[in-house]
């Protein structure tokens, strides 16, 4: 029996300090929002932790904080993004995600209707991915001390035997593939934030990639690196991998899959799409002999229709990332400097 005389007013109510006090109001918030939507056997145990058995083998774990603005944007919201982003991070080791945890920092006065919408979106994303939220935490800060809601999620998963996927394994001669169009998420966020309108609606690519990754590693366990090009985009991610591996990278501008609408928006806004964030794409680096197989698998997956082989890994002690331009020249693709788009995820 629930010790609440009335239900939460999800239409007109707001978060107040009692919702983080540890008392009855907090228990009601947890029961009527979090447990209601995330409902699963482990969460219903109502312990301060989730206890579960795991298969034998190596584990992968990743934590991600989400502070995106605006909270709701074309193609997603902070709720679904907080699930997708963390599942993708843990999956880039080749792991199969098993469970999620979620921590919430709520600002006093935050509308319960928005919180309900966000939790429902998180629940839908986790259920679609087959990875339940099994434990969590909620805190409330005073009005003006936060910005509505911040979410931190952690995922754990198991790595199949025989995989050794790591950012330090790129080898000269490897092929570089990307699973789809670049810059969609960052442009969607910016257009929503600045109330910009384009002829074609640009939506975030936010999506969970572990299904595609499972197909890739099953077919080609020899994959060397997987990485999702989020903050800093493709350019920064390739520089990260080049530094980790002690190699160079060379890509072809003509091979880069970029939507015309995204390209036009970047030109209008003075942005370089190579540095714009993605939330549903991956970079795959593998021996060139497997490139066509990997490309075919990506293109047959619903999230990879626009996948492409964009270049290769080269020997370079300086670790430069270079691009062959459409004009036939060469351009160094350096690390992102400054803050191109703040609070993008």
The pLDDT of residue 216 is: 98
Asked if residues 95 and 216 have their Cβ atoms less than 8 Å apart, the reply is no
Domain boundary among 107, 131, 159: 159
Phi, psi of 338 (to 5 degrees): 75, -165
Specify the pTM: 0.96
To 10 degrees, what angle do helices 291-300 and 210-219 make? Answer: 150
Q: Do 221 and 273 belong to one domain? A: yes
> In CATH, what number is assigned to the domain containing residue 229?
3.90.650.10
Q: Do 128 and 200 belong to one domain? A: no
Q: Do 71 and 181 belong to one domain? A: no
Question: Does any domain span residue 11?
Answer: no
Length of the chain: 345
Question: Does any domain span residue 344?
Answer: no
Quote the tokens at residue 109: 């006065």
Question: Does any domain span residue 6?
Answer: no
The pLDDT of residue 1 is: 46
DSSP per-residue letters across 29-91: HIIIIIIHHH--HHHHT--SS------SSEEEEEEEEE--SSSEETTEEHHHHHHHHHHHHHH
The pLDDT of residue 65 is: 97
Domain boundary among 104, 130, 159: 159
Question: Left if phi > 0, otherwise alpha if psi is -120 to 50, otherwise beta: which for 321?
Answer: beta
d(CA 241, CA 247): 8
Q: Do 65 and 137 belong to one domain? A: yes
> In CATH, what number is assigned to the domain containing residue 34?
3.30.1330.10
Question: Does any domain span residue 86?
Answer: yes
Q: Do 28 and 125 belong to one domain? A: yes
Domain boundary among 159, 192, 226: 159
Q: Do 234 and 184 belong to one domain? A: yes
Give the structural domain span for 124.
Answer: 17-159
Strands (E), the chain: 58-66, 72-73, 76-77, 96-107, 133-141, 149-159, 174-178, 225-227, 248-252, 283-287, 308-314, 321-324, 330-332
Question: Does any domain span residue 3?
Answer: no
Instruction: Determine whether 337 is exposed, middle or buried from the number of CB atoms within 10 Å of its CB (0-12, 13-18, 19+).
Output: exposed
Q: Do 124 and 83 belong to one domain? A: yes
d(CA 281, CA 257): 11
d(CA 294, CA 158): 22
Tally the domains of the chain. 2
Question: Does any domain span residue 212?
Answer: yes
Q: Do 242 and 137 belong to one domain? A: no
The pLDDT of residue 2 is: 61
Q: Do 239 and 271 belong to one domain? A: yes
Question: Does any domain span residue 288?
Answer: yes
d(CA 103, CA 77): 16
Question: Does any domain span residue 341?
Answer: no
Q: Do 183 and 326 belong to one domain? A: yes
- Taking the CB of residue 259, how many other CB atoms lie within 10 A of it? 19
Q: Do 45 and 135 belong to one domain? A: yes
Asked if residues 123 and 206 have their Cβ atoms less than 8 Å apart, the reply is no
The whole-number mean pLDDT for each consecutive block of 10 residues of the chain, a chain of 345 residues, reads 81 96 94 96 95 91 97 97 98 98 98 98 98 97 96 97 97 98 95 80 95 98 98 96 98 97 91 96 98 98 98 96 96 86 84
Which of 233, 307, 312 minimizes the C-alpha distance to 273?
233
Q: Do 181 and 268 belong to one domain? A: yes
> How does DSSP classify residue 18?
G
Asked if residues 184 and 205 have their Cβ atoms less than 8 Å apart, the reply is yes
CA atoms within 13 A on the CB side of 166: 9
- Taking the CB of residue 41, how many other CB atoms lie within 10 A of it? 10
SS3 content of the chain, % helix, strand, coil (to 5): 35, 25, 45
d(CA 210, CA 344): 22
């Amino acid at each position: 029996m629930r010790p609440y005389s009335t239900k939460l007013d999800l239409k007109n109510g707001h978060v107040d300090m009692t919702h983080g006090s540890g008392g009855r109001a907090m228990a009601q918030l947890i029961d009527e929002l979090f447990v209601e939507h995330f409902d699963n056997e482990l969460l219903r145990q109502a312990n301060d932790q989730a206890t579960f058995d795991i298969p034998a083998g190596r584990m992968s774990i990743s934590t991600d904080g989400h502070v995106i603005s605006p909270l709701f944007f074309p193609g997603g919201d902070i709720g679904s993004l907080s699930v997708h982003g963390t599942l993708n991070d843990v999956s880039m080791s080749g792991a199969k995600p098993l469970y999620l945890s979620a921590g919430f920092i709520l600002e006093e006065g935050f509308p319960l209707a928005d919180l309900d919408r966000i939790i429902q979106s998180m629940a839908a994303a986790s259920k679609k991915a087959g990875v339940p939220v099994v434990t969590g935490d909620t805190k409330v800060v005073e009005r003006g001390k936060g910005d509505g809601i911040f979410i931190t999620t952690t995922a754990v998963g198991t790595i199949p035997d025989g995989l050794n996927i790591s950012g330090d394994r790129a080898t000269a001669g490897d092929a570089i593939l990307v699973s789809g169009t670049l810059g969609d998420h960052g442009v969607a966020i910016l257009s929503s934030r600045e109330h910009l309108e384009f002829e074609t609606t640009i939506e975030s690519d936010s999506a969970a990639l572990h299904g595609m990754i499972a197909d890739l590693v099953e077919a080609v366990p020899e994959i060397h690196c997987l990485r999702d090009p989020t903050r800093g985009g493709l350019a920064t991610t390739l520089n990260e991998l080049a530094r980790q591996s002690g190699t160079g990278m060379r890509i072809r501008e003509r091979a880069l899959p970029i939507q015309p609408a995204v390209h036009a928006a970047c030109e209008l806004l003075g942005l370089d799409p190579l540095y714009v964030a993605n939330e549903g794409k991956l970079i795959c680096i593998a021996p060139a002999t497997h490139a066509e197989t990997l490309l075919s698998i990506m293109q047959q997956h619903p999230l990879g229709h626009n996948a492409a082989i964009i270049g290769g890994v080269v020997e370079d002690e300086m670790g430069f990332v270079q691009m062959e331009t459409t004009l036939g020249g060469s351009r160094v693709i350096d690390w992102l400097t400054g803050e191109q788009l703040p609070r993008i995820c």
